[in-house]
Structure 1
Amino acid sequence: MNTLHNGNILLVEDEENLHEALKLNLEIEGYSVSSAFDGKKALEAVANEYFDLIIMDIMLPELDGISVTERIRIQNIETPILILSAKNETTDKISGLRKGADDYLTKPFDLEELLLRVDKLILKNRKLQDRETVSDEYTFGENQIFFGAQEAINWEGKKIDLSKKETMLLKLLIENKNEVVTREKILQAVWGYNVYPATRTIDNFILSFRKYFEKDSRNLLYFHSVRGVGYKFTEEI
């Protein structure tokens, strides 16, 4: 295994033998591992320390792993979560992923597969964190956005008052400029994990952005829909 990308992992597993075996193998791979044996302790750990990854069992004392995952996401903590479960029902997988888990592994699992998934999730998260965040003011073409004030001045010199969600979506798209942002990512970042608007709702936001910032609706420069995938902001060439 590649140990160049070490990270800080929270291991949430109440089965003591499995917990110790996983902790040992993760530490051999060069990871720093913190332990929690129930849901409440997991939430306390997340509140007090930064983790590169959380490995979360579903069947936990006090609070189950899916509920813990949901509470973590409600707090806008985006640490990757790998769920472990003895359950193999599709509904359980869907529930875990819908509440914000990034990956799912069913017990019994192959240790090598777990370690590969751990490495992949940590690397992916670091790449996302390395993205350059936009400053409070952002200019593209003849348009200017003031994120803090939730305002914009468009190419016509017209002042536009932006809603909080419009501002959040604009920032998300711009921070990922020239890349497709999936609908799922938008839902997580802008709407949170308890509300799932229809696809049309996001489409309407994109239509509003085009109305505000595009000079020609038939020749789009900035705001694009990628059918079946998501949405993309591109810089003017």
Structure 2
Amino acid sequence: MPLRPEGTDGSDWSYREIVEDRYKRMAVNMSATFFLHQVQSAVLLLKLAWYLIPVFVEERQPDTFIYPFLVCLVVGNICFYAGKPRGRCVLPLMKVAALLVMCTAGLHFVGLWRYHLLDPKTKQVTRRLFKHLKDTGAISSPTWLTVFVALETVLDGAVGLSAGLCFFAFNNWVRDAMDVVREREERNKAAAEAVPIRPPPGALKKRR
């Protein structure tokens, strides 16, 4: 049996390229961010649909608080998918997308505070939906109100949790990417300073 060529038999272990842990962490964070961003967008769509229930059952104007959520959802997804092409990511767009995820989480908690502490209970979606279905004769048991409240609680928790986890993974990736960009710029600057600048041909005059 012929021997394997030198360098492929395991003797080249000291010359193998070692991937830095930071790049492995960036790959994991990017995969997690991509998954969590999709989950967060889907859950936020469900939340917006929940806010729109009174529009269909009572034919009223939607709550103006849904418009900031809609802006964060649309602009955030545009920046995220435009900033994540094949190959190198566009860091400024990814920063904007991460910032909008953070804004979504902040708006969510502000909305919960306003919804449960400032607005009257008669404006809550659960009570309005229960009243509409009860008036139309679709339901009669008060247990349905408890079911609607439980569904709303689960939805609110999912929005807050998905936005928080998405921003955590997103922020870690952006921070590592900024470090990589800064180090690359420093290396390029050091390499440019190390190369001697030669005058163009004909710039030196001959001595007479």
TM-score in terms of structure 1 length: 0.27
Higher relative contact order (CA 8 A, sep 6+): 2
Higher helix share: 2
Higher strand share: 1
